């Protein structure tokens, strides 16, 4: 083989390696500092988020901590370059119990708030949060059986509204003690109120430190029917939820 040709081939291979390296570096940087994809494995945030939804979380919304950019290694404490989470945000956080497991819930209680659930109705700082009954939430399982649940529009202090569903107003988490949210912590709840392990269960979730916040859920980029796995591309034409693509998370 001609030496010049060998040099060209070696140079071409080197350029390919450089391109791959830079592509991986850029992808890693975007995932670490800008947007990270997450998928929804449970129904705790129905009707806002469904099992099989894939969404982007903005890492920069609340700034950076060891849980967002150093993967849990204690290189620094607290948060930098961020703003405070707001009531009503849907946020991904590291479970305080192990600082590893990703959870996604809605922020309902801010530092200094008192939070209580009475007869299924959320109370913040001693006042009941307005909830308005709307049409039933209807879901269908894999064999076509239909389930109807009571659905409400809940309006938090400050005016942000979202939908919640309730199986009953007399479940184990529908009457709670008064929780006082500590400084730099948040009270998180799922929108599927009777099927959400959240801050109402102190031994499992409890108050979430600001440092554990990973980011704010922004929009869906993909959504597959429950039970369909991402790699099953042959099922996408039938199980892709087209109506949910690029929906903002509210």
* Active-site residue set: 44, 105
Residues near 203 by Cβ (< 8 Å), separated by ≥ 6?
A: none
| Torsion (CA) 62, 114, 116, 108 in degrees, nearest 10 | -20
Residue that the structure tokens 């903005």 belong to? 58
CA distance 9 to 60: 42
Helix (H, G, I), strand (E, B) or coil at 9: helix
Token pair recorded at residue 81: 């370059």
Helix (H, G, I), strand (E, B) or coil at 128: strand
CA distance 35 to 58: 5
CA distance 5 to 179: 73
């Amino acid at each position: 083989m001609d030496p010049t040709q060998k040099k060209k081939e070696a140079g071409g291979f080197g350029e390919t390696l450089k391109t791959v390296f830079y592509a991986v570096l850029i992808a890693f940087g975007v995932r670490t500092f800008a947007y990270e994809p997450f998928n929804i494995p449970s129904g705790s945030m129905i009707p806002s988020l469904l099992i099989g939804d894939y969404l982007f979380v903005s890492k920069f919304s609340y700034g950076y901590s060891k849980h967002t950019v150093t993967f849990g290694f204690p290189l620094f404490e607290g948060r930098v370059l961020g703003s405070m989470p707001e009531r009503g945000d849907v946020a991904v956080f590291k479970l305080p119990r192990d600082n590893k497991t990703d959870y996604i819930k809605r922020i309902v209680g801010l530092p200094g708030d008192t939070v209580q659930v009475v007869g299924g109705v959320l109370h913040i700082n001693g006042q009941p949060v307005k909830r308005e009954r709307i049409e039933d939430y209807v879901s269908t399982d894999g064999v076509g059986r239909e389930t109807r649940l009571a659905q409400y529009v809940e309006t938090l202090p400050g005016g942000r509204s979202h939908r919640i569903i309730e199986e009953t107003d007399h479940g184990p988490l529908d009457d709670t003690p008064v929780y006082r949210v500590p400084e730099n912590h948040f009270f998180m709840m799922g929108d599927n109120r009777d099927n959400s392990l959240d801050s109402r269960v102190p031994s499992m979730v409890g108050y979430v430190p600001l440092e554990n916040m990973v980011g704010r859920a922004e929009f869906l980029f993909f959504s597959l029917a429950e039970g369909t796995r991402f790699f099953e591309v042959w099922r996408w034409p039938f199980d892709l939820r087209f109506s949910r693509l690029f929906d903002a998370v509210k």
